[in-house]
């Protein structure tokens, strides 16, 4: 890992990673993330734009799962990243600073970006890699991982991904900007994120079922050897439940990051939680209901007159006092759909 530049570039920990992938080491990447389409596809000149979008999606999923705010796509940074990747192939160098002496921030500001940037670069040879392959390389490197998760203490808000292909080499560049200059896309698909969350919740249910079955087998074990086997199965099942819980929580964070705040499912207006119409309270006596109306108890106000001060009681007091299920005049505002975020943009 090499760090170049001063000031913010040093704070961002700009790092470089050169990878010579042999035929055995660069086997096809694992299955792509379920949320990011095209993350596992080989990068070709025809799908460079889709590969860059998939890489941004992978980075944002990685950040959202760990509670880090996601990055927006910046067209200027994407152009600068593409140009730097192609420049490294054309002029045969591999560095954050080009032969002209321009660093990441210099190139970005020359293209019109108003802030400072951090940078990750990588090269893969011989075998066509996928965006997931580049992402895995950067994630396993401490310096690059710090750039993707803002572990260096500098908050980045936007990013640009750029790939270039030439001379049997695939070069990738990531630029992380500190100023959001107009981009809004994050690369996250809300419907895919929800499907991924449902799959993780289902896996959690299966893990819990296996743990319950292992617990029953432990209770039914009659011999010491059977008990030891059941205990091992129970320990493995409980570890699987913890892992499934963690994955389900992470999937929920991705859904929150993918769904825009306050957009209802059927319209583009902001969601508003409305109070349900209160049902008629249980009539106890005409005097009591009249006192409640005149004292404003339904609005949560206490009565000031001595004759009706005893009626200004708490909701729990009236529930215990009444014979049967009393209906509170303070309805709870918990519509079923108010707490869910929509996938409609």
Question: pLDDT by residue (tens digit) across 129-161?
Answer: 999 999 999 999 999 999 999 988 888 999 999
Neighbours of 147 (CB within 10 A): 25
In degrees and rounded to multiples of 5, residue 151 shows phi and psi of -80, -5
Between CA 339 and CA 298 the distance in angstroms is 26
When pLDDT is cut at 50, 70 and 90, the band that residue 33 belongs to is: low
pLDDT given for residue 296 in this prediction: 34
Mean pLDDT over 69-90 rounds to 94
Lowest mean pLDDT of 166-170, 218-222, 295-299, 310-314, name the range. 295-299
d(CA 321, CA 319): 5
Say how far apart CA 254 and CA 201 lie, in whole Å.
14
Q: When comparing pLDDT for 65 and 28, which is higher?
A: 65
Give me the mean pLDDT over the 48-56 stretch: 94
Q: Are 156 and 127 in contact (CB under 8 A)?
A: no
Q: Of 5-9, 93-97, 263-267, 305-309, which range is least confident?
A: 263-267
For the chain, how long is the longest CA-to-CA vector? 93
- Taking the C-alpha atoms of residue 277 and residue 296, their distance in angstroms, rounded to an integer, is 17
pLDDT at 34: 77
- Indicate whether 6 pLDDT > 50: no
- Distance CA(131)–CA(170), nearest Å, equals 11
Tell whether the model's pLDDT for residue 289 goes beyond 50: no
When pLDDT is cut at 50, 70 and 90, the band that residue 181 belongs to is: confident
> What distance lies between CA 322 and its chain's CA centroid?
48
Give 326: exposed, middle or buried? Use CB within 10 Å, 0-12, 13-18, 19+: middle
Q: Which residues of 107-124 are buried (b: 16+ CB within 10 A; e: fewer)?
A: bbbeeebebbbbbbbbbb
- Regarding predicted confidence, which is higher, 22 or 80? 80
Q: What is residue 164's predicted lDDT score, i.e. its pLDDT?
A: 95
Q: List the beta bridge partners of residue 73.
A: 159
Does residue 94 or residue 3 have the better pLDDT? 94
User: Is there a contact between 178 and 154 (Cβ–Cβ < 8 Å)?
Assistant: yes
C-alpha distances in Å from residue 134, one per residue of 121, 145, 161, 170: 9, 12, 11, 10
Could you write out the DSSP letters of every residue in 173-231?
A: EEEEESS--S----S--HHHHHHHHHHHHHHHHHHHHHHHHHHHHHHH--SHHHHHHHH
Task: Give the pLDDT confidence score for residue 316 in this predicted structure.
Answer: 58
Radius of gyration of the chain measured on its C-alpha atoms: 29
At residue 148, the pLDDT reads 93
Over residues 73-93, the mean pLDDT reads: 94
Cβ 163 vs Cβ 52: under 8 Å = yes
Least confident of 89-98, 135-144, 332-341: 332-341
- pLDDT exceeds 50 at position 286: no
Query: What does the alpha-carbon distance between residue 131 and residue 58 come to, in Å, rounded to a whole number?
Result: 8
> What number of CA atoms fall less than 13 Å from residue 235's CA on the CB side?
6
* One-character DSSP codes across 15-63: EEEE----TTTTPPP-PPPTTSTTTTSPP-GGGHHHHHHHHHHHHHHHH
The pTM for the full model equals: 0.69
What confidence score (pLDDT) does residue 259 get?
A: 82
d(CA 204, CA 219): 23
Contact 150, 71 (CB under 8 A): no
Q: Is the pLDDT of residue 32 over 70?
A: no
Question: CA-CA distance, 98 to 76, in Å (whole number)?
Answer: 18
pLDDT on residue 322? 56
Average pLDDT over residues 55-72: 94
Higher pLDDT, 323 or 31: 323
């Amino acid at each position: 890992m090499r760090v170049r530049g001063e000031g913010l570039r040093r704070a961002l920990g700009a790092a470089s990673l050169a990878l010579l992938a042999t035929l055995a080491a660069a086997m096809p990447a694992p299955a792509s993330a379920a949320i990011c389409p095209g993350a596992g596809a080989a990068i070709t000149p025809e799908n460079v734009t889709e590969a860059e979008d998939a890489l941004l999606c992978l980075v944002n999923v990685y950040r959202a799962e760990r509670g880090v705010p996601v990055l927006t796509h910046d067209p200027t940074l994407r152009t600068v990243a593409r140009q730097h990747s192609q420049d490294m192939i054309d002029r045969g160098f591999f560095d954050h600073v080009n032969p002209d002496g321009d660093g990441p921030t210099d190139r970005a500001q020359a293209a019109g970006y108003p802030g400072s940037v951090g940078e990750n670069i990588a090269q893969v040879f011989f075998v066509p890699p996928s965006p997931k392959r580049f992402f895995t390389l950067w994630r396993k490197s401490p310096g690059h991982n710090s750039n993707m998760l803002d572990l260096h203490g500098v908050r980045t808000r936007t990013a640009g991904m750029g790939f270039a292909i030439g001379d049997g080499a695939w070069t990738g560049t990531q630029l992380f900007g500190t100023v959001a200059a107009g981009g809004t896309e994050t690369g996250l698909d809300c419907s895919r994120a929800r499907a991924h969350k449902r799959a993780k919740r289902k896996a959690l249910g299966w893990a819990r079922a296996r743990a319950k079955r292992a617990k029953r087998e432990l209770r039914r074990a009659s011999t010491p050897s059977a008990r030891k086997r059941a205990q091992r199965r129970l320990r493995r099942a409980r570890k699987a439940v913890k892992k499934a819980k963690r994955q389900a929580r992470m999937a929920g964070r991705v859904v929150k990051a993918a769904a825009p705040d306050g957009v209802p499912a059927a319209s583009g207006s902001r969601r508003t939680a409305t109070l349900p119409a209160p049902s008629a309270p249980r009539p106890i006596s005409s005097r009591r209901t009249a006192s409640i109306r005149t004292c404003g108890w339904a609005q949560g106000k206490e009565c000031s007159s001595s004759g009706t001060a005893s009626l200004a009681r708490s909701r729990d007091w009236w529930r215990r006092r009444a014979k049967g299920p009393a209906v509170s005049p303070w309805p709870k505002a918990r519509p079923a759909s108010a707490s869910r975020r929509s996938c409609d943009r």
